Amino acid sequence: MAFNMKSTSAGMLALSAMHLIPSVLAAESSFNKQSGAEVCSSDTPLSCSSSTIEPSCCFNSPGGSFLQTQFWDYDPSTGPTDSWTIHGLWPDNCDGTYEEFCDSSREYSNITAIIEESGNTELLTYMNKYWKDYSGDDESFWEHEWNKHGTCINTIEPSCYTDYKSQEEVVDYLQKTVDLFKTLDTYQALAAADITPSESATYTLDEIHSALSDIHDGFAPYVACDGDNLNEVWYFYYVRGNLITGEFDPAEKLTQSNCPETGIKYLPKSG
Ligand SMILES: *[C@@H]1O[C@H](CO)[C@@H](O)[C@H](O)[C@H]1NC(C)=O
C-alpha cells in the first residue's frame, strides 16, 4: 500500500515534471518580458487622490498624473498615414506642472542596445514603426523621452524591483508606453466620427473632444494645434499602484486646448 502510494506519487511527479519542461522553456524564452516590478495590493490608493500619502513603489508621487502623448506629424510626415505616432508617457504632478531629468545616473544614450539586450525584439520593431522622431533620429528621441520623463517616475526606480537587472525599468517604461498607445487609436476614433485627414475640411474642437472621449471613458483628452492644424493629443490617467503592474484609470485633462473652437484642420500626412 505504502509502496503503491509512493510509486503513484513518483509517477505523478514524473508526469508533472514532463509537463513542466515546456512551460519552463516558454517562461525562459519570454523571461525578459516579465517584469520584476513591485506588485501592489488592489486597495492601493489612486495616484493624486491624496497629498499626504508618501511616495512609494505602490504610490506614484509627486508625478501621479500620467499622460500618454501622441503626434500627428503631417509635415514632415512620420509613421503610417492612417495612424498617429507616439510622443511619450509623462509623469505630471497632480496640478499640470512636472519634474524633468530626475536622475542623471540613469540617463542613457543606448536605448536601442538596451532593448536588444533585453531580447524584446517585438517592442523594438513596434517602436521603429510608431515611435517616430520628425527629424528622423528615433534613437535620440527615445533617449530624450526616457531621460527627461522616465527617470522621474518613482515607482520604477531600481529599488522597486525584485531581482533587478540593469536597465530593466527602461524597457518596462517603453513597453508600458507602447501598450497604452495601442489602446488609444486616435486615428480610428476620429474616423469613426467622420473626422478624417483633408486639405479642405474643418472641424470644431467640440467634435474632436467628443470623438476622442469615446476611447477614453468619456474624458476628452488635451488636443493641441499648430495654428489651425491639429497635431498633438495627450490622454490623462491616474494610476493605482505601480506604473508597470498597476491599473490605469482614464482621467480629466489638466490642460486646456490651444486649438481654435472652430475651423480646425486635420491635414493629410504629406508622405
Ligand atoms: C548602455 O549604457 C549603459 C551606461 O553607459 C551601460 O551601463 C550599459 O551596459 C549599456 N547597455 C548596452 C546593452 O550596451
Q: What is the pLDDT of residue 3?
A: 40
179 CA distance to ligand 1 centroid (A)? Answer: 24
241 CA distance to ligand 1 centroid (A)? Answer: 29
Q: Is the CB of 134 under 6 A from ligand 1?
A: no
- Angle at CA of residue 266, ends 262 and 270, nearest 5°: 150
Q: What is the pLDDT of residue 271?
A: 59
Distance CA 216, CA 52 (A): 28
Q: What is the pLDDT of residue 34?
A: 66
Distance CA 180, CA 76 (A): 25
Q: Is the CB of 75 under 6 A from ligand 1?
A: no
Q: Is the CB of 111 under 6 A from ligand 1?
A: no
Atom 3 of ligand 1, residue of closest alpha carbon: 108
Judge whether 73 and 85 are in contact, CB under 8 Å: yes
Q: Which residues of 234-270 are buried (b: 16+ CB within 10 A; e: fewer)?
A: bbbbbbbbbbbbbebebbebbeebebeeeebbbbebe
Q: Is the CB of 108 under 6 A from ligand 1?
A: yes
Mean pLDDT of the chain: 90
114 CA distance to ligand 1 centroid (A)? Answer: 7
Distance CA 204, CA 265 (A): 9
Looking at the CA of residue 113, tell me the nearest atom of ligand 1. 13
Q: Could you give the C-alpha distances from 70 to 181, 225, 231, in angstroms and in order?
A: 8, 12, 8
* Span 71-90, pLDDT tens digits: 999 999 999 999 999 999 99
Return the active site residues. 87, 145, 149
Q: Is the CB of 10 under 6 A from ligand 1?
A: no
| Intervals of the chain under pLDDT 70 | 1-34, 271
Q: What is the pLDDT of residue 1?
A: 36
Atom 14 of ligand 1, residue of closest alpha carbon: 113
Q: What is the pLDDT of residue 35?
A: 81
pTM, whole model, 2 decimals?
A: 0.88
Q: Is the CB of 164 under 6 A from ligand 1?
A: no
The best mutation among 112, 167, 169, 171 to test binding of ligand 1, ranked by most ligand atoms within 8 Å of the C-beta, falls on 167
* Span 17-61, pLDDT tens digits: 444 444 444 333 334 446 899 999 989 999 999 999 999 999 999
